[in-house]
Each structure stands twice: as structure tokens, then as C-alpha cells.
Chains A and B, each alone.
Chain A
Amino acid sequence: MSARAVGLGRGDAEPALYQRIGRIVRELHESLRELGRERLLEEAAQAIPDAGERLAWVARMTEQAAGRVLAAVEIAAPLQEALHAEAAALQARWEREAPGVRPELAADTRRFLATAAAHGAATRDQLREIMMAQDFQDLTGQVIARILGLVRRLETELVQLLLEAMPPGQRRPAPQRFLDGPVVHAHGRSDVLASQKQVDELLESLGF
């Protein structure tokens, strides 16, 4: 972080402030040396971008899930609407024309049509509720985007600071964990499988 970014801007306070920051950085530097800095630096350099990517992945997955729900609702709603409309129309005709044949069957049919029309309307309302609930994606997405911005700023500043404190020869990529959770970025990685098809193909090639 540049001294300007500290943003105190009061002439008298600045020299003392710089001295304190300088001391903190030197102490950090010393602590890193004592604690085995290469491990710490690797972890810091790895952990923050990793956290950011995971968060971005959460945003993408929720957006896709919301999209799937909306697509399903958009297909189901007109079908439901048609059922509802037809049942209601037919019920009205049965009430009006009331055929004299087989009164019990006629009564059962009228009752069923009334139920079908009412349930159709209720289901339509629930479909709308399912659709409205997808607004979580917009709201959580906005919060995640904001946190991502913060994480990326932190990453730039902190990793830069840490790398400056480390001799170039000691920089090595951090080891991958075995259980790494959901794959956030399959693109450009040869060690992960991007689809169930690839998983099946791999197992098949091994004789399973």
C-alpha cells in the first residue's frame, strides 16, 4: 500500500505514521523470517485468490441455478394456465347445461372440474412464488460482487507486500490439496474433469 493510500493527509502526523508503518513492516518481515516465511508466503499468495475464485464460483453457480428454476417455471406456468382455463370453462358449461343423464356422474365431474380449476389457480400462484424467490440471486450476487472487489484489492496489496519481502528463488507454487472441494475453475487445468462424461470415460478406460 502506498503511503498516500493511508489517506491521513495531515502534514504533522505523517512522519510519525510512516515510522510506525515502517516498524510494523520490519516486524512482519522479521516474524516471517523466524516462522519460515516461504510457507507463509505461499499460503498467503495462494489463499486469497483461491477465496476470491470460490466466491466468484458461488455467484456463477447460484446464477445458473436460478436460471434453471426460471426456465422450468416459464415452461410449467403456461401449461398450468391452460389446464386451469380449460377446467374452469368446462365447469361453467357443466353448471349451465347440466345434462340430465347419470346425475351422480355429472355431480362428480362438476366437482372434479371445480377442484381442477381451483388447484390450477393455486399452483399458478405457487409457481409465481418460486419465480419470485429467485430474486435471491440478484441480491446475494450484489453482496458477493462487493466482497469480491474487496478481496481483490486486499490480494493485490498484501501479496505485493509479501512478495517484496521474499527472495525470488524461494517462490514456488503451493501444493494442491487432495480434497479440494467443487472445481471452481476447470478451464486451463489438466488435473480435473469437467463433466460426468469425462469421469465415466476415465473410469471406463481403467476397466470399470
Chain B
Amino acid sequence: MANSKLRFLVVDDFSTMRRIVRNLLKELGYANVDEAEDGAAAFAMLEREPYDFVISDWNMPNLDGLGLLRRIRESERLKHLPVLMVTAEAKKENILAAAQAGASGYIVKPFTAATLGEKVGKILDKMPQGAR
């Protein structure tokens, strides 16, 4: 069973999608979920409080998902944080750019509950033991 103590941050400018992801995480056994509506708000939250996992959209106002990912990877404290991109951007160059910037996974919208569960599980399996 999932480690329900893990704390997730879901970043998307559409409340509908944040809510869908939050509900899916709850089904997977992760009830500790916060939401941010763009990359800038998300990064501020990441700087303030400890999180274990970030699920982020790409195309958002202020700071987009790729910008958020880069800031996380540049930060000494946050650089090991798993970041799963969930986005409608489906071009090969997008996926390559996200991978090069250090994305832990990439899901193209629309996606299924099974896909999210699988990607989250795969990323958590690779996390070093002891990271809660």
C-alpha cells in the first residue's frame, strides 16, 4: 500500500485538473495534497514547506511548468524532488526539453487513472530509501 504520509503539490492553472489529480492521488492512498495555480505560487510553497512530490502542468501564467522544474533543479535544497509533468504539450521537442531539464516523468493529457498511478509508482520506486 502507498505511503500515505508523502506530501504532494499539484500545480495547474485549471482547478478542474487539480481536483481530478487530487482525487486520483487520494484513490492511490495519498491524501496529503496541496494545490498551486501556477509555477510561481508553487515555488513559493516549495520554499516555505517540505514536499515529497510535485505534479505540474506546463502551460501556466507567471511561471510555467518547465520554468518551475528548472528552478527546482537549480535549488540546492529541492533539486532531488520528484517532478512529474502532466501536460497537453505533446510535441517531441516538448518532451525532450522536459527530460533535459530533469523531469522525473511526463504524462500527456488526456490521461487515465492507471497511467498516473503507474508513473507515480515508478518514480517513487526509484526514490532513495529513507526519503520518508
Contact = CB atoms under 8 A, between A and B. Distances in A.
Interface of A: 63, 66-67, 70, 73-74, 77, 128, 131-132, 134-139, 141-142
Contact of B109 (A66, A77, A138): A138
Given A128-B27, A131-B23, A63 B88 contact: no
Interface residues of B, number: 17
A74 B88 CA distance: 25
5 contacts: A128-B113, A132-B110, A132-B113, A135-B20, A137-B16
A138 B15 CA distance: 8
9 smallest CB-CB distances across A and B, nearest first, come from A138-B14, A138-B17, A137-B16, A66-B16, A135-B110, A70-B19, A138-B16, A134-B16, A128-B113
A135 B16 contact: yes
A63 B24 CA distance: 19
A141 B12 CA distance: 13
B88 A139 contact: yes
Nearest to A71: B19
A131 B20 contact: yes
A132 B23 CA distance: 10
Contacts of B17: 135, 137-138
A67 B20 CA distance: 10
A131 B26 CA distance: 13
A137 B13 CA distance: 12
Contacts of B112: 132
Contacts of A74: 23
Contacts of B109: 135, 138-139
Given A63-B16, A70-B23, 19 more contacts: A63-B15, A67-B15, A70-B16, A70-B19, A70-B20, A77-B23, A128-B27, A128-B113, A132-B20, A132-B112, A132-B113, A135-B110, A136-B110, A137-B14, A139-B88, A139-B109, A142-B14, A142-B59, A142-B88
A138 B13 CA distance: 9
A73 B17 CA distance: 14
Nearest to A128: B113
B73 to A, nearest CB: 25
A128 to B, nearest CB: 6
Contacts of A63: 14-16
Contacts of A142: 14, 59, 88
Looking at B16, B109, B113, which has the most chain A CB atoms within 10 Å of its CB?
Answer: B16
B16 A67 contact: yes
Contacts of A134: 16, 20
A67 to B, nearest CB: 7
Contacts of B110: 132, 135-136, 139
A204 B17 CA distance: 42
A137 B23 CA distance: 16
Contacts of A139: 88, 109-110
A73 B27 CA distance: 13
